[in-house]
Amino acid sequence: MPYNIFSRAFKVAGFVFLFAALGVPVGHAATSKKVTVVKRSHSAKTAPVKAAVARKKARFVMGAKNKPIMRLIVPAKPSFGQIAGLHAAQDSLDLKSSVALVIDQDTQEVLFSKNDHAVLPIASLTKLMTGVIISGARLPMDELITVTQDDVDTEKGSSSRLKVGTTLTRAELLHLALMSSENRAAHALGRTYPGGLSTFVSLMNAKAKMLGMADSVYVEPTGLSSRNQSSAHDLATLVNAAHADPMLRELTTSTGYQVAVGSRTLQYNNTNRLVKNPEWDIGLQKTGYITEAGQCLVMQTKIAGRKLIMVFLDSAGKLSRLGDAERVRKWVESIPPVDHKLSASIKHTSG
């Protein structure tokens, strides 16, 4: 921590020195990371200032009293997929996700793939496994669970509408975790599992192994940790298993849900807007995001009479993962219909 403080101080001092050398008055602005620039005539004297600003990739906005304010742009932290160069891969559908996989759920035929064996952080897609473990344990769903300080995110510092001391049923917490990706809800479910959090995480990994998810590892139940990792093929396997559970199908595709917290009623909505779209027939879904994972989405859906499993990882933007799903849907709809039962029979016979 001391290193970060002194490092920051030296950076600020460096900027003050730079602008002072260029003749740009800074006053007290350096300490607030904003530099007020005095308007000058367009003369040769302003050229060095403009060049310096361009080199620093700064931008101007109008502040109080219409004075130009310069703000330095801090580059966004890259995802693991970007670091690995996965976004350089081209595909026929021009998807924005660096990893994609589309599988026919009935025949297991791979219809589309892109970097599908890459192992990446999976963010809140983790909660799908959390739901599988909770549902499979057949624990009392009306049991009351209280959110404690242990459920507060210390990994990413994310906020939550579930204050410490909030008491909800296990069913309500599971609904919020799967539908709106509530981190404290997911953590409380794992923490209160018989045997505690360590037992719960062990069961997550044991279930993954049982399903044949050889590329997957879980270290906690929310997905906030970038050490929760998997591949597109493993996630397709998980979606297929979760889709067999009626409760998980219902909770992940619920469009909205209300919970009573003391004297207040909190309204939660699904993190995937496609569940409200009449053009989509979604049987199960889960979204996820942390910086290291990028925007992620998994779904079971029915398109043109075919039951499909879709996996999109490390998408560039919040809406681009949905755009990728739309591109895949239109592409599948354009494929001429075939007798899938006959195709599966031929494959089985030839094998």
Is 39 a residue of the active site?
no
Is 216 a residue of the active site?
no
Catalytic residue among 79, 124, 225, 231: 124
Catalytic residue among 98, 181, 225, 231: 181
How many other CB atoms are there within 10 angstroms of residue 271's CB atom?
A: 20
Which run of H or of E encompasses 333?
helix 320-334
Catalytic residue among 96, 114, 127, 207: 127
Token pair of 327, please?
A: 């591109």
What are φ and ψ of residue 21, in 5° steps? Answer: -65, -30
Residues in Cβ contact with 125 at an 8 Å cutoff, skipping those fewer than 6 apart: 223, 230, 235, 286, 287, 288, 296, 298
Alpha-carbon distance 101 to 117, whole Å? 10
Is 124 a residue of the active site?
yes
DSSP strands (E only) in the chain = 35-36, 58-62, 68-72, 97-104, 110-114, 120-121, 144-146, 167-169, 229-230, 256-261, 264-269, 282-290, 294-303, 306-315
Go through 175-192 and write b for each residue having 16 or more CB atoms within 10 A of its CB, e for each that does not: bbbbbbbbbbbbbbbbbb
Q: Which residues participate in catalysis according to the annotation?
A: 124, 127, 181
